[in-house]
Amino acid sequence: MSNSMSIEDVKRDINTLEKLSDLNVKKYADTGGYADIIAQANKNLKTTQLRKFFGAIRNMEKNASSWENIEADFYLLKPQLANARGRDLIPKGFYDIMMSIMDKVDRGDDKEKLENFRVFVSFLESIVAYHKFYTS
């Protein structure tokens, strides 16, 4: 994977996945990977907004013993993101990529959805880490 990838390339690659758990950890977490590219492209994203979103996902993770436990909270993230975008609190690029990623979580049976959610948490954790690197 090269650093010549754009956020649009990342989005296109994610959109080709059947489900998020099909994504290899190296592809999103490695230097120059998807999380790195997303963080670089969204340096203007306020840390407070990223932390707020990540915090909500961390809270869900605590109850992630089954998909049923977190399903409603997961779907409620989408209007929260839309609201943040509508109020210009998050960049359009970040909103678009998050929606693409989240669309790949609700795939498969409940066990697979839970696994997709775990990959989503790990992916977002990587974005937060790279974002911190680029904005400090």
The answer, yes or no, to whether residue 3 has pLDDT greater than 70, is no
Burial class (CB in 10 A: 0-12, 13-18, 19+), 37: buried
Contacts with 36 (C-beta within 8 Å, 6 or more apart), sequence order: 30, 126, 130
* Amino acid residing at 82: A
pLDDT digits (tens, 9 = 90+) for 25-64: 999 999 999 999 999 999 999 999 999 999 999 999 999 9
Q: What is the pTM of this model?
A: 0.94
The answer, yes or no, to whether residue 2 has pLDDT greater than 90, is no
* Residue 81: CB atoms within 10 Å: 20
Rounded average pLDDT over 109-114: 97
pLDDT of residue 19: 97
The answer, yes or no, to whether residue 130 has pLDDT greater than 60, is yes
